[in-house]
Structures are given as structure tokens and as C-alpha cells.
Amino acid sequence: MTGVSVEDTALAKLRDAIIDGDLHPGTRLVEADLVRRLGASRPVVRSVLGRLQHEGLVEREPHRGARVRMVTVDEAVEIVQCRAALEALAARQAAVHATAADIAALREIHAEMAACIADGDLLAYSACNARFHARVLTASRHRTAHRLVTDLRAQMVRFQFRTILVPGRPAESLAEHAAILTALAAGDPDAAQQAMTTHLSHVVANLPRTTPSA
């Protein structure tokens, strides 16, 4: 059986570093640094950068090299709008398929979110928020929705646009997640779908009020 190629391994490493926020938007991607970081040759690194450019994660300019691409506000709105449709479906499915363990995990994450707000640690809240949504996707048992949300590069939007920093947004967000959790725990598909739709529509509404951060 043929193993994974060096290029595919390097591609996965660099893609994950960008999506996970280890490499921030606007970060220059210097070939020599990437050779060391990825353990790959320059030709492989150049090919990887070309593939990531095609995926929309990297931008390259003549004589200026490559950098992690910034997402525009308009693109961020479109991404979250698409994500809203998929996650509303996932929430509906999660209301049907969530186990007791899923609900317990979501309750625990929501409690952590409340503690983060009480402590004024909004960036930690943002990380908990990502875990909450990931757990809903897992609970949905809907593999296609899970894959498509990941492919939308939702993480890039989260790192570049901190809607949780908009005044008044933390309390609203916590209440919205509570509504999602209540609907899931009740096994109510309609309510779960509506709660997720409402939550992400408010995220869309607040995106233009944020300042993209590198």
C-alpha cells in the first residue's frame, strides 16, 4: 500500500497551522523557514504554497513572496451565512441523535463559557465557543455537514473577526448558546434548528462591527 507523500504531509501540516491559528492572517511565509518547519525541500514547499493558494488560504505576490491570506468582511459574512445553514441542519440532527454524554459535554462547555464571561476572559470564551459548535456537529452524526463546515474555513473567520469583543455581545452569545443547549436537551429538532439559526444570524450582523486582527 502506497504511503502518504512528503508533499501531502507537508500540505496537511501547513494547512492545519493556518486553520488552527498558529500562523496568523498576514503572516509572511518564507520558504527557508517552511523548509525547516515542514521538513521538506524547497520544490515541495513551493508546490504546497501553490496548492494552498488555490484553496484560498495563501496569497502570493510577485517579488513579495507568500503570506497567510486575510478574509475580507464580505467573504466572512458569506462564510458564516453558509455555515449557518449547515449548522442549523446539524443542530436539528443533534436534537435527534445526541447522547446523554453529548448533552453533558455541552453543559460543561456552556458552564465554562459562563465562567469566562465572569472572569472577563473573552478570548478564552471564543475558544469554548468553538468547542461548543464542534460538539454539536459531532452530536449530529452528520458527517457531510461536519466536513463542509470545516471546508468553509470557519476557523479563519473566528481568528480574524472577534465578534465576542463587540460591546454587549458576550451576554447575548451566552444566552443564545443556552437556547441551543435547552433545545438539544429537550430533543426538539425545530427549536434546535431555530436557536442555531438565530445565533449565527447575530454573528453575521456583528461581523461588520469588528476589526479584522492579524
pLDDT of residue 18: 86
79 neighbors 44 (Cβ within 8 angstroms): no
Strongest mean pLDDT among 56-65, 68-77, 138-147, 160-169: 138-147
* Residue 34: HSE in the Cβ half-sphere, 13 Å Cα cutoff: 29
Residue 57, classed as helix, strand or coil, is coil
pLDDT tens by residue, 163-211: 888 999 999 999 999 999 999 999 999 999 999 999 999 999 999 888 6
Residue 214 has pLDDT above 50, yes or no: no
Interaxial angle between packed helices 73-97 and 122-140, expressed in degrees from 0 to 180 and rounded to the nearest 10: 50
Domains of the chain: 6-68 (1.10.10.10), 73-209 (1.20.120.530)
* d(C-alpha 208, C-alpha 214), whole Å: 16
pTM greater than 0.85 (yes/no)? no
Give the residues across from 60 on adjacent strands.
66
pLDDT tens by residue, 23-67: 888 899 999 999 999 999 999 999 999 999 998 889 998 888 999
Residue 1, classed as helix, strand or coil, is coil
Rg from Cα positions in the chain:
19
pLDDT of residue 1: 39
pLDDT of residue 156: 66
* Residue 152: HSE in the Cβ half-sphere, 13 Å Cα cutoff: 22
